Amino acid sequence: MLQSSLDCLSCETYYAVIKERLIYRYRLATGHVLADAQGKAPIHRLTLYEKIGPGAHLCHWCGKLVEWRYTRLTRGQSLDGVLIADHIDEDRYNNAHDNIVPSSDAS
C-alpha cells in the first residue's frame, strides 16, 4: 500500500490503493463497522455512512432499496441490493457530504 498525504484531516493517516488503475483513498477507522481487518475504510463510504447512517436506503438514481454491506465482496459476487457510495460529480476525490449518495449497481 502507498501512504498518501492527500487531504490529511485531523492528523489521521490516509492510504491510496491502486485497484484496476483507479485510486481509492482510505482512512484509519479502527473499530468502525466499515473498517477492514487492518482498521482502514474507504473515505467515500465513511463520509456517506456519517451522512445517512446504518440500515436500508433508497438509491439516489433509481429509488431501489439498497443496504450497507459490511464484508468485502469477492470478484463476481452479485451487487444486487448492495449500497454503493456514489460520487454525483464522478470525481472520486470529492468526498464532500453533498457529493456522495447511496446508489444501486443498476444505476
Q: What is the pLDDT along the chain (107 residues), one digit of tens a residue?
A: 333 333 434 334 445 554 455 677 899 999 999 998 999 999 999 999 999 999 999 999 999 999 998 877 777 888 889 999 999 999 988 999 999 999 998 65
Q: Helix H segments across 9-81?
A: 43-52
Within 10 A of 45 (CB to CB), how many other CB atoms are there?
22
pLDDT in the model for residue 7: 41
Q: Phi, psi (5° rounding) for residue 38?
A: -90, 0
Q: Helix H segments across 7-69?
A: 43-52
pLDDT in the model for residue 35: 93
